[in-house]
Amino acid sequence: MGRPLRLFSLGLLLLFSLPASVRAAGPEIVRVFTGWRDAASFQRVTEYLDGRENTGGIIVLRSQPGARAGFYWLVRLKNDDAPLAGAKLELQVVTPTSPEAKTFTFPADVPVGSPIYQLGLTGADWPDTKARPAAWQLRLLATDGKTLIAKESFLWELPGK
């Protein structure tokens, strides 16, 4: 094998090995789905047996823990780095009933991996079953309040909001 071919082969090997060795810097928000959920949608058979809510491994955080029905943000994070103890998920929402954004903060110890969160505005914090947010922004905050990552709806960035 000639020298140019060896160099070319070595270059290809290095090129294809780079993505495997490069890690993402910090956590990321993979996706966010929103929608209304009735209280009954959270009940599973095991709850009838032992009386405790079974979340199926999903971390459920509610603005009013005693109420299950509400508008939810289903959030999948990806965290390949160290766990984030003491972090917070901050949700700012412009509701149909107010032009001013309301802020809701949820404690979120983010483990390594791909945790899924259900962030719910429940009870009196959400107007009704048919209401939809006008705009929203979700931020993951470090213990010092620094924004680690953020995601927002399309309408969040409109001028004059």
Domains and CATH numbers, the chain: 23-157 (2.60.40.10)
Return the residue matching tokens 């140019």: 4
pLDDT digits (tens, 9 = 90+) for 87-130: 999 999 998 888 899 999 999 999 999 999 999 999 999 988 99
**Res 12: pLDDT:** 47
pTM, full prediction? 0.80
Q: What is the DSSP string of 48-104?
A: HHHSS---TT-EEEESSTT---EEEEEEEEEB-SS-BTT-EEEEEEE-TT-SSPEEE
Q: How would residue 67 be classed by pLDDT, with cut points 50, 70 and 90?
A: very high
pLDDT digits (tens, 9 = 90+) for 12-33: 444 455 444 344 568 999 999 9
Which of these, 101, 73, 100, lies nearest to 89 by C-alpha position? Answer: 73
